Amino acid sequence: MVLSVDGIATPVQGIDDPALGRVVAAIVAASRDVATHVRAGALLEMPDTDGAQNVHGEVVHALDILGTERFVEAFDDSDAVAGLVCEELEEPKFFDPTETAGSYLCVLDPIDGTSNADIAITIGSIFGVFPTPAGVPLEGEQPFLRPGTDLVAAGYVLYGSNTVLVLATEGLVQEFTLDAAGGEFHLTRENIQIPDDCPYYSVNQGYADRWDPAVRRAVDVAREGRSLRYVGSLVSDFHRDLIRGGVFLYPADASSPNGKIRVLYEAGVFAFIVAQAGGAASTGSGPVIDLVPSAVHERTPLFVGNANAVEAIDLALRG
């Protein structure tokens, strides 16, 4: 069975459960709204941030607030999401259990690449969908402390020169493009496989002084014969690598012993997507997709993209 998902013009392969269809429809609804605000930039009124910082000690942007509100509302309305971990919310949020039985748990970075948000550079939303685990009380962090292998769907929305939704389900990665006039997403790439060629590498070279020798070796290996591209929005760097070929590195360094990228709603999601597309994701010590976080906002070093490039990086890290 293939379901029609509200807000996506084409029936969506890989979505067979109506409740999962409602989760995707909620992501479509929220991201369409975020896309409108991203497009309008400073011309649309935005929430007042009052200089707030989030749980990670980072300055909150108005779009972080707006994105969080829109996704929370849409998930709540869907009656298909039992709980949510969101980058901008310190604690997991649970929805009315009488309306959400047998549904899903979502993880979300509502606005990835926040530092690019008010300078007209591409940003995105990242999401992952887990089945609600049987026999685990829906409270606290425990229901979310699971590996990327448990995901049933994951993806991102990229607010770039056009808005694209990439959706990964078991064995399939599809891209949909928003027709801003009609308000619907249309299938534009059917079965994405990461290219064998790997012309690009991405890393924040500005942190080189903080890297240990193993990371320096790994970056040297990643750089060999490749062009550097670094947007500073992981979702943009990842999308380029997925379509054109490439590898992204966010290693640990002296100031960030676990790197910056979060396991649940960033690294794990990209690990799931890239695995369906024939690529790889490593922490430097093992596959990201097997990583079980011990806290919902835990971070991990991340090396993701072309499988051969990730393997070469792993070898270099091991010395």
Shortest Å, Cβ 314 to Mg ion: 27
Binding mask 234-253 for ligand AHM (x = CB under 6 A): x-------------------
> Applying CB under 6 A, which of residues 68, 132, 233, 283 lies at the interface with ligand AHM?
233
Sign of CA dihedral 302, 308, 313, 319: positive
Contact partner at residue 232 from Mg ion, ligand AHM, none, CB < 5 to 8 Å by partner kind = ligand AHM
Compute the distance between CA of residue 152 and CA of residue 146 in angstroms, rounded to an integer. Answer: 12
The smaller minimum CB distance to Mg ion, of residues 31 and 169, is found at 31
Per-residue DSSP letters for 97-151? TTT-TT-EEEEEEEEE-GGGTTTT--EEEEEEEEEPPTTS-SSSSGGG---GGG-
Query: Are 170 and 14 spatial neighbours (Cβ–Cβ below 8 Å)?
Result: yes
> Applying CB under 6 A, which of residues 13, 49, 149, 204 lies at the interface with ligand AHM?
204
Per-residue DSSP letters for 14-34? T--SHHHHHHHHHHHHHHHHH
Query: Are 283 and 263 spatial neighbours (Cβ–Cβ below 8 Å)?
Result: no
Q: What type of residue is 14?
A: G
Size of the site for ligand AHM (CB under 6 A): 11
Residues in 21-80 that interact with ligand AHM by CB under 6 A: 58
Q: Which range touches ligand AHM (CB under 6 A), out of 16-24, 93-101, 227-235, 268-276?
A: 227-235
Does 109 help bind ligand AHM (rule: CB under 6 A)?
yes
> Applying CB under 6 A, which of residues 260, 275, 299, 300 lies at the interface with ligand AHM?
260
Which residue in the block uniquely carries the two structure tokens 């109506």?
A: 18
Interacting residues toward ligand AHM by CB under 6 A: 58, 87, 109, 112-114, 204, 232-234, 260
Interacting residues toward Mg ion by CB under 5 A: 87, 109, 112, 114
